[in-house]
Amino acid sequence: MYDFNKIVDRQSTANIKYDLRNKVFGKDDVIPMWVADMDFETPDFIREAIIKRANHPIYGYSFRPKSYYQSIASWVHIRHNWEIDTNWIKYSPGIVPALNFSTLAYTNKGDNIIIQPPVYFPFFSAVSDNGRVKLENNLILSNGRYLIDFDDFERKAAKAEMFFFSNPHNPVGRVWTKEELLRLGEICIRNNVIIISDDIHNDLILPGYKHIPLASLSPEIADITVTCIAPSKTFNMAGLATSSVIISNSTLRDKFDSLLQRYHLSLGNVFGAVASEAGYKNGAQWVDRLMQYIKDNFAVVEQALLETNGKIKLIAPEATYLAWLDFRNTGYSDDQIKDILINKAGLGFSHGPVFGNGGQGFQRMNLATPRSVIKVAMQKLIEAF
């Protein structure tokens, strides 16, 4: 029913991933596997909903109807076993804006915010750009799997006001267990640390794993947690700038809403609302098939890397379509790895060091692209190294 093998020409559509290759990589002919959007068609049920709305000749000021909020609550309940009140849902034009809004709403200049590198780099800027101080609780790579250093986390929590949490984790691909989540939540409760949980990849879970929203575990954890979700990664519609922030604590919710009102950012756009509702109402089967396809893409990468005899390794994936590749055994520096990838292999990956401590010697590779492209990319990678 859904053809993930189809090649879609994205060039000259003013998209970042393809049309800014020269600016980012210094050449136009790299295979772009960096920006975290998909090369798959946005599902037909979303495109049809947008077209139907676009056929009305006026795109004036609009609001999000009850059905919009109900579709989110229903999706979260069915997919993630979390029952939420639609009144808890606030709009944001994106998850990164939501991180910055939360920083402004819940902390003051000079306050400490915990992050867990290597991690999605806008976490860093959401702290530093707003005059806050980052406390790094570095993830531990042990036997090919990333773990949380809880002793260090507890020390950092004792002097922190807030915690940016990636759940599931970008770029290392961890799906956190219930035990890990409970331990994090309990530490934050004891230390009065507000949790901003970036759950944007919550639907992109590989078969055999289960995403657990942190706020779903107890009323006490929910009371200190702000959960950020979006249909953008799930259904490949990031350009529609629509996401949701779920906040059960009324005080935290009012502070977040007050900030949106102050900057006049609460309206959003009509097509984003329509697309979000269509995705959450009709997208279950599409997502299931997508993640099976992504799982098979990971298998292609893992099989191909056997030819490197351990010089390049795939960190075992649990979620997302982002492969975290370990190049440390190649013996090359980060600059050399980047140069070989771009100029010998013709591949545009996300450079590991931008994800902070622990990113050195790694590269992030986007696998949300047709399998034929993955196979060509892996051949180029192996030949180059």
**Residues 312-329 pLDDT 10s:** 999 999 999 999 999 999
Given this model, what pLDDT does residue 128 score? Answer: 97
Cite the residue boundaries of each domain of the chain with CATH code 3.40.640.10.
Answer: 58-282
Each residue of 192-218: pLDDT tens digit?
Answer: 999 999 999 999 999 999 999 999 999
CATH-assigned architecture of domain 58-282 = 3-Layer(aba) Sandwich (3.40)
The DSSP call for residue 317 is P
β-strand partners of 164: 196
Contact assessment for residue 369 and residue 301, using Cβ atoms and an 8 Å cutoff: no
- For the chain, how far is it from start to end, CA to CA, in angstroms? 38
- Residue range 81-97: mean pLDDT, rounded: 97
Q: Which residues contact 60 (CB under 8 A, 6 or more apart)?
A: none
- 3-class DSSP state of 98: helix
Give the residue carrying structure tokens 């980047």: 338
Report whether pLDDT(234) > 90: yes
Residue 360 CA: distances (Å) to CA of 56, 123, 315, 324, 355: 51, 18, 14, 12, 9
Given this model, what pLDDT does residue 76 score? Answer: 98
- 3-class DSSP state of 85: coil
Question: What is the band of 1 on the pLDDT scale with cuts at 50, 70, 90?
Answer: confident
Q: CA geometry: angle at 267 spanning 263 and 273, to 5°?
A: 140
Whole-angstrom distance, CA of residue 240 vs CA of residue 12: 18
Given this model, what pLDDT does residue 301 score? Answer: 98
The top-level CATH class assigned to 16-43+284-384 is alpha beta
Phi-psi region of 15 (alpha: psi -120 to 50; beta: other; left: phi over 0): beta
Burial 123-149 (b: 16+ CB within 10 A, else e): bbebbeebebebbbbbbebeeeebebe
The answer to which of 222-231, 234-243, 260-269, 336-345 has the lowest mean pLDDT is 260-269
Q: What is the pTM of this model?
A: 0.97
Cite the residue boundaries of each domain of the chain with CATH code 3.90.1150.10.
Answer: 16-43+284-384
